[in-house]
Amino acid sequence: MVSEENAAEENNSPSQENTPSPGQMLRERREALGLSQQQVAEKLFLKANQINDLEEDRLDDNASITFTKGYVRNYAKQLGLDSAAVIAAFEQKHVKADPPAKLQSFSRRVAKQTHDDRWMMVTYLILLLIIAGVVAWWYQQPSDDTQPEESIVSSVKEEASSTPIPSATSVGGISTSGANDTLGAPDSVDSSSTPLAGESDQAPANNNEIQSAGNEDVEQATNVPDESNNVTALIAQSDDNRVDLDTVTRTSAAESDLPPISMTFTFDDDCWVNIKDANGEAIAYGVKQSGRVMEIQGVPPVEVTLGAPDNVRISVNGEPVDISAYQNGRTSRFSLPI
């Protein structure tokens, strides 16, 4: 390859030496016509040093080669030379051939594109997994929050239903039967002691003991009303508890009898919601798309859970509701009307 280039340069060098340069052709023609550089410069509206540069085959670094080629063409026409031959010589001397562009292999481009497509698929898969995880977390978050409330309500109901109520009749029956048994003891003792004549000396002592025992039993029997009073107090307390439960039940029933309210939810961005009214009916649930305006009705108080409260605007019965206190970038729960 190097030898071929050298041979081409050797073949071209004699022709280039024999062919006159464009500046030499212009100078010879000007001298033959007896014109000076200043005279030619005045006719072409150029400077004398520019005419000298054209004859010396010097290019101005500050000027484009296209302008220089135009000056050469006008100079040749002014002197009566063939402008095409002069321009051909100018291009042969000054214009360099552009190097051949490097061609990119088609197979390499296809391989690179395939490699990029694989990386894009991996990136999309990772993004899809992240989005699926966030959605799953949103769906699990409200259920975890409602479990403590349900457990508290059920425990209160079980505690109220399992409160023991003592029976006054059982306590009174036990005390009365005990007293009757102890009071009947002296008669049995007296009846059994009358046939024994030899034990007459011991009878007074036994009678005294029996009487003292009977007195103690009578005193125990007299203490029974105090215990019955305690039982009565317990019964009254249980009745009060039942009254409180009935009051709460009537209050909740009165609240559920309230007329339904109209609510409008405007979503500026995607948001997960869970809305239930006082009857426990699910009014709305799931992810609501951006730009949606949702109009619903429900019996107050209405429990509202928002996954992204910053993206929601609410109005109740046509009046806007201020939920700025709940717009903190986290899941919020509140009741309507506030």
Mean pLDDT of 83-97: 83
Residue 67 has pLDDT above 50, yes or no: yes
Confidence of residue 127 (pLDDT cuts 50, 70, 90): very high
Mean pLDDT of 186-206: 39
- The 3-state DSSP composition of the chain as helix, strand, coil percent (nearest 5) reads 65, 15, 25
- What Cα–Cα distance (Å) separates residue 172 from each residue in 31, 45, 220? 156, 142, 12
Higher pLDDT, 197 or 281: 281
Domain boundary residue, one of 146, 161, 176: 161
What are residue 257's phi and psi, to 5 degrees? -80, 0
Pairing of strands 282-288, 312-316: unpaired
Residue 191 has pLDDT above 90, yes or no: no
Residues 297 and 312 in one domain: yes
Residue 289 has pLDDT above 80, yes or no: yes
pLDDT of residue 112: 80
3-state SS, 278-336, equals CCCCEEEEEEECCCCEEEEEECCCEEEEECCHHHEEEEECCEEECCHHHCCCCCEEEEE
15-29, 43-57, 147-161, 173-187 — which is least confidently predicted? 173-187
Confidence of residue 151 (pLDDT cuts 50, 70, 90): low
Higher pLDDT, 332 or 196: 332
Cα within 13 Å of Cα(187), Cβ side: 5
pLDDT of residue 172: 40
Q: Does residue 228 sit within a domain?
A: yes
Q: How many domains does the chain have?
A: 4
- Beta bridge partners, 274, equal 285, 305
Residue 161 has pLDDT above 80, yes or no: no
Residue 263 has pLDDT above 80, yes or no: yes
Q: Does residue 271 sit within a domain?
A: yes
Q: Does residue 241 sit within a domain?
A: yes
Residue 175 has pLDDT above 50, yes or no: no
Residues 245 and 263 in one domain: no
Residues 80 and 11 in one domain: yes
- What does the alpha-carbon distance between residue 160 and residue 253 come to, in Å, rounded to a whole number? 19
Which tokens is 269 given?
């961005």
| 3-state SS class at 209 | helix
Residues 307 and 248 in one domain: no
Q: Does residue 101 sit within a domain?
A: no
Residues 153 and 187 in one domain: no
Mean pLDDT of 177-185: 39
Domain boundary residue, one of 134, 161, 188: 161
Residues 54 and 17 in one domain: yes
42-51, 231-240, 285-294, 296-305 — which is least confidently predicted? 231-240
Residues 175 and 130 in one domain: no
Residues 23 and 64 in one domain: yes
Domain boundary residue, one of 203, 234, 255: 255
Confidence of residue 143 (pLDDT cuts 50, 70, 90): low
- What does the alpha-carbon distance between residue 190 and residue 209 come to, in Å, rounded to a whole number? 12
Residues 88 and 7 in one domain: yes
* Among the listed residues 57, 60, 83, the one whose alpha carbon sits nearest the alpha carbon of residue 70: 83
Contact between 37 and 43 (Cβ < 8 Å): no
Mean pLDDT of 97-125: 75
Average pLDDT in the chain: 72
Residue 127 sits in which domain range?
107-161
pLDDT of residue 329: 82
pTM of the entire structure? 0.28
Q: Which amino acid is at 224?
A: V
9-18, 50-59, 211-220 — which is least confidently predicted? 211-220
Q: Does residue 102 sit within a domain?
A: no
Q: Does residue 100 sit within a domain?
A: no
- What does the alpha-carbon distance between residue 310 and residue 131 come to, in Å, rounded to a whole number? 19
Residues 6 and 83 in one domain: yes
Contact between 53 and 60 (Cβ < 8 Å): yes
Contact between 185 and 213 (Cβ < 8 Å): yes
Q: Does residue 99 sit within a domain?
A: no
pLDDT of residue 265: 96
Buried/exposed 307-333: b ≥16 CB within 10 Å, e otherwise: bbbbbbebebeeeebebeebeeeebbe
14-18, 77-81, 316-320 — which is least confidently predicted? 14-18
Residues 204 and 241 in one domain: yes
Q: Which amino acid is at 178?
A: G
* Among the listed residues 188, 186, 226, 177, the one whose alpha carbon sits nearest the alpha carbon of residue 208: 186
What does the radius of gyration of the chain's CA atoms come to, in whole angstroms?
Answer: 59
Confidence of residue 20 (pLDDT cuts 50, 70, 90): confident
Q: Does residue 210 sit within a domain?
A: yes
- Edge-to-edge order in the sheet of strand 332-336: 282-288, 271-276, 302-306, 332-336
**Burial category of 217 from C-beta neighbours within 10 Å (exposed 0-12, middle 13-18, buried 19 and up):** middle
Higher pLDDT, 113 or 331: 331
Percentage of the residues of the chain whose pLDDT score is greater than 70:
57
Residues 69 and 138 in one domain: no
- Quick: pLDDT tens for 42-59: 998 989 999 998 889 888
